[in-house]
């Protein structure tokens, strides 16, 4: 993931209740004027499963990611039929040799995943989107997904050079009224993030001067 696809982060066996991806990676593709990223999902097989079934499983990751791949461990190359099946379905192929050397044989087309599932998957990797600049950043580690952000505390975010998480109460209640989300009483799950860069370079300019002394 890191060497070939230039992913800045990756996980194995990561997913939601609907299914789990064997490998997930995230990479920057936005050029120098945006923080756009792509999520890459890979299904890994040992070369023994029926090919179209395995391909369908990889294709299902479209709901989570922008590019989907089937990686197969095998001594021989993919056959012409297999290449045709993969390109008809619209999945990429990665050949894994017996010595565990990976080669991208067919590129995956670009897909628009379901936004909510993509963001939930990335949150499992402790990665969130900054609502100010749009880039994706690390919010914590495996033990504490919000280790590198403060809870609605801009002053501490500046002091400790962290990002920030905050909760959208009005939106949470609007969704709760219609039964879309589960905001209840004093609890809402409706949450957003701001990255450390936006805090230390933009928001810092509008806070009282004694905050930054
Ligand atoms: Zn930002």
* 212 pLDDT tier (thresholds 50, 70, 90): confident
Residues 14 and 98 in one domain: yes
**What 8-state DSSP symbol labels residue 89?**
H
Compare 57 and 1 and report the one with higher pLDDT.
57
Residues 21 and 72 in one domain: yes
Asked, for residue 44, whether it belongs to a domain, the answer is yes
Range of the domain at 32: 9-106
Out of 60-64, 68-72, 169-173, pick the least confident.
169-173
Give pTM, 2 decimals.
Answer: 0.91
CA of 14 to the centre of ligand 1 (A): 25
Position 147 scores a pLDDT of: 95
Scanning the chain, the segments in alpha helix (DSSP H) are 51-60, 80-89, 115-124, 154-159, 169-177, 196-201
Asked, for residue 197, whether it belongs to a domain, the answer is yes
Q: How far apart, in whole angstroms, are the C-alpha atoms of residue 186 and residue 14? A: 31
Position 187 scores a pLDDT of: 80
Residues 179 and 102 in one domain: no
Residues 76 and 32 in one domain: yes
Residues 20 and 81 in one domain: yes
Position 58 scores a pLDDT of: 96
Number of domains in the chain: 2
| Greatest mean pLDDT among 35-39, 98-102, 209-213 | 35-39
Lookup: tokens for 153: 């505390």
Asked, for residue 3, whether it belongs to a domain, the answer is no
Distances (CA, A) of 112 to 37, 40, 83, 118, 205: 12, 12, 23, 9, 36
CA of 166 to the centre of ligand 1 (A): 14
Position 183 scores a pLDDT of: 67
Average pLDDT over residues 16-36: 92
Average pLDDT over residues 182-202: 88
The last residue of a domain, from among 71, 106, 141: 106
CA of 197 to the centre of ligand 1 (A): 6
The last residue of a domain, from among 46, 76, 106: 106
Compare 10 and 180 and report the one with higher pLDDT.
10
Asked, for residue 185, whether it belongs to a domain, the answer is yes
């Amino acid at each position: 993931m890191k060497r070939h696809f230039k992913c800045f982060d990756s996980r194995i066996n990561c997913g939601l209740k609907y299914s789990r991806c064997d490998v997930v990676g995230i990479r920057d593709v936005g050029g120098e004027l945006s923080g756009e990223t792509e999520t890459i999902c890979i299904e890994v097989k040992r070369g023994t499963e029926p090919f179209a079934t395995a391909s369908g499983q990889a294709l299902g990751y479209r709901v989570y990611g922008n590019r989907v791949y089937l990686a197969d461990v095998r001594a021989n190359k993919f056959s012409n039929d297999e290449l045709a099946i993969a390109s008809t379905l619209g999945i990429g192929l990665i050949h894994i040799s017996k010595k565990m050397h990976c080669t991208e044989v067919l590129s995956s087309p670009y897909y628009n995943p379901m936004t909510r599932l993509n963001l939930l998957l990335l949150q499992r990797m402790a990665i969130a989107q900054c609502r100010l600049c749009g880039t994706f950043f690390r919010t914590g580690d495996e033990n504490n997904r919000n280790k590198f952000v403060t809870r609605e505390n801009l002053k501490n975010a500046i002091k400790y050079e962290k990002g920030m998480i905050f909760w959208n109460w009005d939106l949470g209640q609007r969704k709760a009224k219609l039964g879309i989300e589960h905001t209840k009483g004093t609890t809402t799950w409706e949450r957003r993030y701001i990255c450390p860069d936006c805090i230390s370079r933009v928001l810092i300019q509008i806070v009282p001067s004694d905050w930054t002394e």
